[in-house]
Amino acid sequence: MSSEERLGELLHDPRWSLPGWSREQALARIRRAARQQRLMVAAQSAAVAVIVGASALAAVPAAMRGGFLPPWTARRAAGHSLHPSHRVPPAGSSFTATYPAVLSSAAGAAPCPAPAGLRAPGPATPVAALAVLRLLGAGLAYELSVTDKTVRPTSAGDGGSIPAGERTAAGRRAMILRILRAGPVSVRYSGPLRAGVGELAAVRHQVAADCGDLVMRSTWVVVSGIPGSRSRDAELLFLTWRGRVLLYDIQ
Amino acid sequence: MADTRTGPDSFGEFVAEALPGLLRFGHVLTGDPLEAEDLVQEALARSLRRWRCIRGDNAVPYVRRAMINTHISRWRSWQARVRVGSLPDGCADDPWLRRSDDWDEMRRALASLPPRQRTVLVLRYYEDLPDAAIADLMGCAPVTVRSQAARGLATLRSRLGPVLAEGVYAGVTDHEL
């Protein structure tokens, strides 16, 4: 018997079996867990589903003017051709933040953006996505000035006003902000999510499973982190929605 | 399996039918009975919320995939894990007791593996899935599956030499990377 056959034999040992649940007990447990998941989704829908809607409106024109992007962004953007037709219109001083509708929890486990208005990533997406990141890391005041007030508690990250139900999502957001503000940030990958490999393949499958194929194909992903610290990588997902590049998140 | 969407209580019927296998799969996957129950509960709750979209004959694979993804992501997100504790020595020469010890040792060794290696080994040697199917389930390349399996097997062999060598070692046909 080879070691592989022996391993298979041990894995089929009857002691792996567990006592079952009664039908009533099982359904009660599952429904209770489903309710908790729905509550989590609802909390995230309020706080995380779409974080920085209008940031790109101000970020992209600033990026186009140059001198705004950090070195790592400029390097990435250097060889990129930006056709005027792909530019995101600038934000006015009286902008109104608008966001894609969020699908109800019945349609997915995560707070997913509705597919209406989504577009495939275009030539301007790399610069716009990195510009949004730059905004997130540049300064909270500026971020808030172009962000709808409803996302302030989440954007504030470490602020004490975060409701208990939003702490997980807010914690993730705070982690991203800490990474972006911790100093030099490296971009390990910037590209369409559908082309992601390795760890990103799992993200791709998760987005497709949770939010559908269209959302996955419309997603641009930036993996950023602190140089020399792989454990602090952050995968940031962006959508192009009606000419805007939006940061979003999933559960 | 019959179409589990038919009838008003189809989800309940599906749970009653599939639960023993899912619990067992969760136990093999996690190595811990309580964690296995949590994993099954979480995956089934997720399935309940999407039950209308799940085809009847795909329900079990869907739940298993959810369990795999949840297990890997849980491990990734947790900074610390509670390992399965060491059992006291005291085995006798009784074959049944010795067999039990083999199982316990294997359980502890499996629990010490990184989640991806463990998942690959479980899917390959418990579910008897080919590498391509495992790669599809885990969202990675088949070569990654083979490398994870090779590393996992090497670790198990180093820790469980006598246990895995209970049979005859001649003619070992282990997969190579």
Which residue has 């298979």 as its token pair? A8
Quote the tokens at residue B160: 């469980």
d(CA A137, CA A247): 13
Phi, psi for residue A139 in degrees, rounded to 5:
180, 135
Reported confidence tier of residue B136, pLDDT bands at 50, 70, 90:
confident
**CATH entry 3.30.830.10 includes domain B1-78:** no
Instruction: Identify the residue with better confidence: A114 or B50.
Output: B50
Is residue B80 within 8 angstroms of chain A, CB to CB? no
Which residues are CB-contacts of A247 (< 8 A; sequence separation ≥ 6)? A50, A51, A52, A55, A132, A136, A236, A237, A238
CB B116 within 8 A of CB B72: yes
Q: How many CB atoms lie within 10 A of CB A158?
A: 11
- DSSP for residue B82: P
Q: Which CATH number fits domain B92-167: 3.30.1490.20, 3.40.50.300, 1.10.10.10, 3.90.420.10?
A: 1.10.10.10
- Percent of chain A with pLDDT strictly greater than 70: 39
> Which residue, among B54, B125, B143, B157, would best test binding to A if mutated, counting the most A CBs under 10 Å from its CB?
B125
Instruction: Please report the ipTM that was assigned to this predicted complex.
Output: 0.72
Lowest model confidence (mean pLDDT) among A103-112, B10-19, B122-131: A103-112
| pLDDT at position A38 over 80 | no
Residue B84: name the closest of B23, B157, B34, B152 by CA.
B34
Q: In A, which residues are within 8 Å of B69 by CB distance?
A: 202, 205-206
Reported confidence tier of residue B146, pLDDT bands at 50, 70, 90:
very high
Reported confidence tier of residue A33, pLDDT bands at 50, 70, 90:
confident
Q: How many CB atoms lie within 10 A of CB A203?
A: 20
| pLDDT at position A25 over 80 | yes
Q: Which of A3, A36, A106 minimises the CB distance to B165?
A: A3
The most confident of A37-51, A146-160, B63-77, by mean pLDDT: B63-77
Quote the tokens at residue A18: 């567990």
Is residue B135 within 8 angstroms of chain A, CB to CB? no
Q: Which of B27, B138, B174 minimises the CB distance to A4?
A: B174
Lowest model confidence (mean pLDDT) among A161-170, A171-180, B125-134: A161-170
Which residue has 């070691």 as its token pair? A3
Q: In A, which residues are within 8 Å of B44 by CB distance?
A: 26, 30, 33
Which amino acid, B87?
A: L
Which residue has 């610069």 as its token pair? A127
Kindly list the domain boundaries of chain B, sorted by start residue.
1-78, 92-167
Is residue A13 within 8 angstroms of chain B, CB to CB? yes
